[in-house]
Amino acid sequence: MAIPRISSYDLTSACTPITNRVDWKINPSRAVLLVHDMQNYFVDFYDRTQAPIKNVIHNCQTLINKSENSGITAVYTAQPPNQTPQDRALLTDFWGPGLSADNTQSNEPKATGIINELSPSASALQFTKWRYSAFQRTPLEQWMRDNNKDQLVICGVYAHIGILSTCLEGFMRDIQCFVIEDACADFSEEEHKMARQYIAGRCGSVIPLSEALNSIQPSTANTTKVQQKDSAIQNQQAVFSPAQLQRQIAQALQIHPDDFEASDNLMDVGLDSIRLMSLLDQWRNAGANVDFIDLADTPTVNDWSSLLSASAQPAATETA
């Protein structure tokens, strides 16, 4: 009844060439960016170190940065925790009780929160979402009408459920919806393809990130800043990738990287506090903003990769 664990699948294979019935083009003056349900609760059904979600998170970052620098407002949807039976209604029959309230004593990321990599900026909006469609029981349509917007650019999860439903309802409200196919993830490659096919043929336009970025042209003054920020994000992802961290830790322990797994408890492998402090200094110099306790609480390569990447500060390139 609950959402199942989601197996890895290849995003490129899911995004084979597709023919849209419409020839709509994104117009930044008419468009709103919808970041759909990218809460820790929903993203954590994937392995964040694997495709498709690893690629989707990066592509969403790029899309959000480019959009905001072009003056396009980003709207985030997020489901609330501890919904009453009346509010949850038939969703319970299909998916169970939904999100629970976050444990404020825990150091884990809040399940209800937007993932750190896509944290909303000060100019972004966030609407509470109650049903599959982002239009149901939210102020999204009214806000768009009030601000003369009639295009919705969509990224996030899950393609065949909330994203498809939002596109279909957008169509019935005379709002052009653009799904960025490689900035969305689904339960499986087959369901990802099914959602793309239905949307392209019935209610919206399905396009790759590259086409969306070509349509979203920031001002000349901001172009270099966007490129620098995207490059900084990519560089930090490489610096704090699981493979790179595993090599660094193995070197500190004077063992081979294959001698332990990325999911192993590093304290059991032989990493002590002295070596950890030395590694922490290296990672801080590379841009991470974490402390010893953060790392000691979750001593695995996979956890550290996520933590270090999320804490890094690519925004330093924006000071020019």
Report pLDDT for 257: 85
Give the residue from 273, 248, 269, 267 showing the smallest Cα distance to 259: 269
Same domain, 84 and 140: yes
Supply the CATH number for residue 62's domain.
Answer: 3.40.50.850
CATH of the domain at 264: 1.10.1200.10
Place of tokens 């393809």: 193
The residues that bridge with 114 in the sheet, in sequence order, are 39
Span 11-49, pLDDT tens digits: 999 999 999 999 999 999 999 999 999 999 999 999 999
Query: Mean pLDDT over residues 126-132, rounded?
Result: 95
Q: Give the pLDDT confidence of 247-265 residue by residue, as tens digits.
A: 889 888 888 888 899 999 9
Whether residue 21 lies inside any domain: the answer is no
One domain, residues 308 and 184: no
> 116 and 49: one domain?
yes
Model confidence, pTM: 0.68
pLDDT of residue 316: 39
Q: Which of 170, 188, 219 is the last residue of a domain?
A: 219
Model pLDDT, residue 221:
46
Task: Decide if 36 is catalytic.
Answer: yes
Residue 8 domain flag: no
- Rounded-to-integer distance, Cα 197 and Cα 250, Å: 46
- 115 and 189 in a single domain? The answer is yes
Number of separate domains in the chain: 2
Which 3-state string (H, E, C) describes the chain? CCCCCCCCCCHHHHCCCCCCCCCCCCCCCCEEEEEECCEHHHHCCCCCCCCCHHHHHHHHHHHHHHHHHCCCCEEEEECCCCCCHHHHCCHHHHHCCCCCCCCCCCCCCCCCCECHHHCCCCCCEEEECCCCCCCCCCCHHHHHHHCCCCEEEEEEECHHHHHHHHHHHHHHCCCEEEEEEEEEECCCHHHHHHHHHHHHHHCCEEECHHHHHHHCCCCHHHHHHHHHHHHHHHHHHHHCCHHHHHHHHHHHHCCCHHHCCCCCCHHHHCCCHHHHHHHHHHHHHCCCCCCHHHHHHCCCHHHHHHHHHHHCCHHHHHHC
Tell me what the mean pLDDT of segment 230-235 comes to: 54
Q: Where does the pLDDT of residue 311 fall: very low under 50, low under 70, confident under 90, or very high at 90 and above?
A: confident
Return the pLDDT at 107. 52
Is residue 170 domain-shared with residue 211, that is, in the same domain? yes
The 10s digit of each residue's pLDDT in 148-203 is 999 999 999 999 999 999 999 999 999 999 999 999 999 999 999 999 999 999 99
Burial string for 268-279 (b: 16+ CB within 10 Å, else e) reads ebebeeeebeeb
State both tokens at 123. 């100019």
pLDDT at residue 227 in the model: 53
As a whole-number percent, the residues of the chain with pLDDT over 70 amount to 88
Confidence class of residue 312 from pLDDT cuts 50, 70 and 90?
Answer: confident
In terms of residue numbers, what domain contains 299? 240-312
Q: Answer whether 213's CB lies under 8 Å from 26's CB.
A: no
Residues 141 and 257 in one domain: no
Q: Are residues 120 and 40 in the same domain?
A: yes
Is the domain of 129 the same as that of 246? no
pLDDT band at 234; cut points 50, 70, 90: low
287: Cα separation from own chain's centroid: 21
Q: Is residue 254 part of a domain?
A: yes
Using one digit for the tens of pLDDT, what is the confidence trace for 9-19? 999 999 999 99
Q: What is the pLDDT of residues 61-111, one digit of tens each?
A: 999 999 999 999 999 999 999 999 999 999 999 999 988 876 555 555 688
Let me know whether 53 and 138 are in one domain.
Answer: yes
Predicted local confidence at residue 261, as pLDDT: 92
Domain boundary among 219, 252, 278: 219
Cβ contact 140:169 at 8 Å? no
- pLDDT value at residue 229: 55
- State whether 150 and 207 are in the same domain: yes
- Which one of 54, 129, 149, 160 is the catalytic residue? 129
Looking at the fold, whether 174 and 270 belong to one and the same domain comes out as: no
Q: Would you say residue 173 lies in a domain?
A: yes
Catalytic residue among 36, 149, 160, 192: 36
Structural domain includes residue 94 = yes
What's at 114, amino acid-wise?
Answer: I
Task: Decide if 291 is catalytic.
Answer: no
20 in any annotated domain: no
Q: For residues 177 and 304, state if they share a domain.
A: no
Residue 82 belongs to a domain: yes
At residue 218 the predicted structure's pLDDT band, cuts being 50, 70 and 90, is low
Distance CA 244, CA 253 (A): 14
In a domain, 159, yes or no: yes
* Predicted pLDDT at 47: 97
